[in-house]
């Protein structure tokens, strides 16, 4: 089950944050600011009442572009479609805010996350050498045409059923 995150989720989110990103986890203060920002939308995944994942998007009202801020699942709950469901929730929220294009940064040594993003239509547009400096890992900047993504999920019915 997915639902909007609240600051009551902070402790459970931080536990997953720290275990998922051991060298570059956000601080609790940073995560709280993320959850409280009116420009952001955070979603959590729950299984049997237990928070197993979270994801967030930055999509300020009126802006034409947005950012996938983060996404992570408890290590025991990965590979079962929940990450994709969380990403879809973020992209749907951004589309409702009339965002046109989405951006994100992903570690060059994270092929699993890259695979998820590419399968949704994100494409690499830039590399940031040593962006993840604690590990000496490059960052890959990816972009998604969100209107194309939305169109692909909701094909126009203009021509459907038209007999001539
Ligand atoms: C990245 C992450 C959120 C993906 O969530 P998930 O629930 O494991 O992924 P899903 O089951 O929804 O799978 C989505 C896609 O991810 C990729 N993927 C998932 N698990 C994979 C694996 N073990 N090997 C290779 N690709 C994998 C595939 O492209 C998959 O699509 P497919 O099922 O059609 O092949 C999750 O693995 C995670 O929390 N990783 C640690 C934190 C992290 O790296 N976050 C991203 C920061 S940019």
Query: Is position 8 within any domain?
Result: yes
pLDDT in tens, 19-53: 999 999 999 999 999 999 999 999 999 999 999 99
Q: Mean pLDDT throughout 68-87? A: 98
Which residue's alpha carbon is at the smallest distance from atom 18 of ligand 1? 112
Supply the residue whose CA is at minimum distance from atom 27 of ligand 1: 112
**Domain annotation covers residue 72:** yes
Any domain includes 51? yes
Q: How confident is the model at residue 157 (pLDDT cuts 50, 70, 90)?
A: low
Distance from the alpha carbon of residue 117 to the mean position of ligand 1, in angstroms: 9
Q: Is 116 in the pocket of ligand 1 (CB under 6 A)?
A: yes
Rounded to whole angstroms, the maximal C-alpha distance in the chain is 64
Q: What is the pLDDT of residues 129-142, one digit of tens each?
A: 999 999 999 999 99
- From first CA to last CA, the distance across the chain in angstroms is 45
Closest C-alpha residue for ligand 1 atom 4: 83
Structure tokens at 102: 């989405």
**Cα-to-centroid distance, 53 and ligand 1 (Å):** 12
84 CB near ligand 1 (under 6 Å):
yes
How many separate domains does the chain show?
Answer: 1
Q: What is the rounded average pLDDT of the residues 4-24?
A: 97
Q: What is the CATH number of the domain that holds 143?
A: 3.40.630.30
Please write the tens of the pLDDT for every residue from 47-68: 999 999 999 999 999 999 999 9
Q: Is 38 exposed, middle or buried (0-12, 13-18, 19+ CB in 10 A)?
A: exposed
Task: Taking each helix axis as running N to C, give the angle between helix 82-96 and helix 146-153, from 0 to 180 degrees, rounded to the nearest 10.
Answer: 110
Identify whether 11 is part of a domain.
yes
Position 14 in a domain: yes
Whole-prediction pTM value? 0.95
Range of the domain at 10: 2-153
Q: What is the pLDDT of residues 86-130, one digit of tens each?
A: 999 999 999 999 999 999 999 999 999 999 999 999 999 999 999
In short, whether 45's Cβ falls inside 6 Å of ligand 1 is: no
In a domain, 159, yes or no: no
Tell me the DSSP string of 141-162.
Answer: EEEEEHHHHHHHHS---TTTT-
* Band of residue 164 on the pLDDT scale cut at 50, 70, 90: very low
Residue 119 Cβ inside 6 Å of ligand 1? The answer reads yes
Ligand 1: atom nearest CA of 84 is: 12
Average pLDDT estimate for 140-149: 98
CB count within 10 Å of CB 8 equals: 9
Whether 162 has a pLDDT exceeding 60, the answer reads: no
**Do the Cβ atoms of 57 and 66 come closer than 8 Å?**
yes
């Amino acid at each position: 089950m997915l639902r909007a995150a609240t600051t009551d989720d902070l402790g459970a989110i931080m536990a997953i944050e720290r275990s998922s990103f051991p060298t570059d986890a956000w601080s609790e203060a940073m995560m709280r600011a993320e959850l409280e920002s009116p420009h952001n939308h955070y979603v959590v995944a729950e299984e049997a009442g237990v928070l197993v994942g979270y994801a967030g998007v930055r999509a300020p009202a009126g802006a034409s572009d947005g950012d996938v801020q983060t996404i992570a699942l408890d290590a025991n709950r990965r590979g079962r479609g929940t990450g994709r469901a969380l990403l879809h929730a973020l992209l749907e929220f951004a589309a409702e805010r009339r965002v046109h294009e989405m951006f994100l940064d992903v570690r060059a040594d994270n092929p699993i996350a890259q695979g998820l993003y590419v399968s949704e239509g994100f494409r690499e547009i830039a590399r940031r050498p040593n962006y993840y400096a604690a590990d000496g890992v490059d960052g890959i900047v990816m972009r998604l045409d969100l209107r194309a993504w939305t169109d692909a999920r909701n094909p126009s019915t203009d021509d459907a059923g038209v007999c001539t």
